[in-house]
Amino acid sequence: MLERSITDFGSDNAFGQVDSKLKEHYGITVPTSSARIITQKHAHHMFLNSEQEPTQVSLSPQALVIAETDGSMVPIVTYEKKPDGVEKHDARKHKKLSWREARLSLAHPVGSVTPIFATTLGKPDVVGRQLYRCAKKSGMDDKTTVHCLGDGASWIANQVDEQFGSQATYLVDFYHVCEYLSKASPGCSSDKHAWLDQQKERLKTGKLANVLQELRQHFELEENTETPVRDCHRYLSNRTNQLDYAGAMKKGLPIGSGEIESAHRYVIQKRLKLAGAWWKETNAADMLELRVNRANRNWEGYWVSRKAA
């Protein structure tokens, strides 16, 4: 019970704050190092359990499932190994700080507000398998249509195609497309706001060809160092089959990936991007799984299984 309470506090708060939380609620004090070791121990167990977890349908078969994936950066620290022949080696003076992309996936049936999550620091193929597993647990079967959303990263579209095939449609987040249009707008009209609104409306009504034609009329010279209009045209032209916003809206489906971007804030960033927090890669992977365990409402089941073990 004590380890459960420590892990509970450690999953949401900096390890240095766990002692004050325990003292406030239970009159118990523990060293910060103990809070860290115990929390990370259980986080690692959850990580191992997630890798062994079978892909199975958790809900009844669904006609339509929404699936999204996106990445955000988390702080990672690595330490240089102690050189041979060196007696004193202060690792704190030989550390390297960097950022790694933590990729979060979710899926849920249309109309549901309780998504199923998965996360990894791994490569795109790992993300693809996780996205498939989330959809499967959300009720996807052979007859289910999967509506996928993400930013314009080509690896996301490739993984959707590889994992779901013709069973899924993929839509580029409308906000990301609008960012390209916004950068192009000054070169297309003196009233850039009205021009941008017009292009948004065209996209939402299935008039992509008109948007592309409008951009072509304002191409910069090829020798220009900055070509936002050409860049926007190229971006849209390379994704013509991922911009069917009119079709999605007609079915009442989302055209933006705001759900997964919001989930990054409350699942990952709320704990792993605390001020001053830096993580070893293995510890970050474990803590990501701990956060997903809570988000997936598997907390009680984990502690029941630990007690049985």
What would the pLDDT profile of 291-305 be if each residue is shown by its tens digit? 999 999 999 999 999
Residue 163 lies in a domain: yes
- Looking at residue 138, its pLDDT comes to 95
Residue 86 is assigned to a structural domain of this protein:
no
Residue 64 has pLDDT above 70, yes or no: yes
- 27-48 residue pLDDT tens: 999 999 999 999 999 999 999 9
pLDDT range class, residue 309, cuts 50, 70, 90: confident
Average the pLDDT over 89-107 and give the result. 86
Q: Which residues of 181-198 are buried (b: 16+ CB within 10 A; e: fewer)?
A: bbebbebbbeeeeebbeb
User: Are both 166 and 207 inside the same structural domain?
Assistant: no
Identify whether 85 is part of a domain.
no
Supply 309's token pair. Answer: 């073990």
Q: Specify whether 210 is located in the same domain as 307.
A: no
Query: Is pLDDT of 58 > 70?
Result: no
Of the pLDDT bands very low, low, confident and very high (cuts 50, 70, 90), residue 79 is: confident
Q: Which pLDDT does position 91 carry in this prediction? A: 65
pLDDT at 53 over 80: no
**Distance between CA atoms of residues 217 and 35, nearest Å:** 62
Q: Mean pLDDT, the chain, as a whole number?
A: 93
Q: How confident is the model at residue 222 (pLDDT cuts 50, 70, 90)?
A: confident
> Do both 164 and 70 map to the same domain?
yes
Domain that holds residue 151: 58-79+93-172+256-278
The CATH code of the domain that includes 273 is 3.30.420
151 and 70 inside one domain: yes
135's CB contacts (< 8 A; 6+ apart) are 65, 67, 107, 144, 146, 164
Predicted pLDDT of residue 81: 76
Do 232 and 261 share a structural domain? Answer: no
d(CA 14, CA 150): 31
23 in the same domain as 65:
no
Please check whether residues 202 and 226 belong to one and the same domain. Answer: yes
Is the pLDDT reported for residue 50 higher than 90? no
How many domains does the chain contain in total?
A: 3
Note whether 227 and 290 are same-domain residues.
no
Please choose, from the candidates 129, 164, 133, the residue with its C-alpha nearest in 3D space to the C-alpha of residue 147: 164
Tens-digit pLDDT profile for residues 171-194: 999 999 999 999 999 999 999 999
Residues 138, 55: Cα–Cα separation, whole Å:
11
Please give the average per-residue pLDDT across 264-268, as a whole number. 96
166 plus 261 within the same structural domain: yes
Is the same domain home to 46 and 182? no
Residue 297 lies in a domain: yes
Q: What is the 3-class SS of the chain, one letter each residue?
A: CHHHHHHHHHHHCCHHHHHHHHHHHHCCCCCHHHHHHHHHHHHHHHHHHHHHCCCCCCCCCCCEEEEEEEEEEEEEEEECCCCCCCCCCCHHHCEEEEEEEEEEEEEEECCCCCCEEEEECCCHHHHHHHHHHHHHHCCCCCCCEEEEEECCCHHHHHHHHHHHHHHEEEEECHHHHHHHHHHHHHHCCCCHHHHHHHHHHHHHCCCHHHHHHHHHCCCCCCCCCCCHHHHHHHHHHCCHHHCCHHHHHHCCCCCCCHHHHHHHHHHHHHHHCCCCCCECHHHHHHHHHHHHHHHCCCHHHHHHHHHHC
86 — pLDDT class (breaks 50, 70, 90):
low
pLDDT band, very low/low/confident/very high, at 57 (cuts 50, 70, 90): low
Dihedral Cα 218, 219, 223, 227, nearest 10 deg: 90
Q: Residue 33: what are its φ and ψ, rounded to 5°?
A: -65, -35
Q: Is the pLDDT of residue 130 over 90?
A: yes
Is 73 domain-assigned?
A: yes
Q: Is the pLDDT of residue 126 over 90?
A: yes
Residue where the block lists tokens 């004050």: 20
Residues 121 and 269 reside in one and the same domain: yes
Query: Quick one: 179 exposed, middle or buried, by C-beta within 10 A (0-12, 13-18, 19+)?
Result: middle
Q: Are 123 and 95 in contact (CB under 8 A)?
A: no
Write the pLDDT tens digit of every residue in 137-162. Answer: 999 999 999 999 999 899 999 999 99
- Please report the pLDDT score of residue 60 as a whole number: 87
- Where do we find the tokens 């010279």? 221
**Domain shared by 295 and 167, yes or no:** no
pLDDT of residue 122: 94
Spatial distance between the Cα atoms of 84 and 82, rounded to a whole number of angstroms: 6
Residue 11 lies in a domain: yes
pLDDT, tens digit, 9 for 90 and up, residues 3-19: 999 999 999 999 999 99
pTM for this entry: 0.90
Per cent of the chain over pLDDT 90 is: 87
- Whether the predicted pLDDT of 52 surpasses 80: no
Return the structure tokens found at 257: 């990936």
Say if residue 126 is exposed, middle or buried (CB neighbours under 10 Å; 0-12, 13-18, 19+). Answer: middle
Domain for residue 87, yes or no?
Answer: no
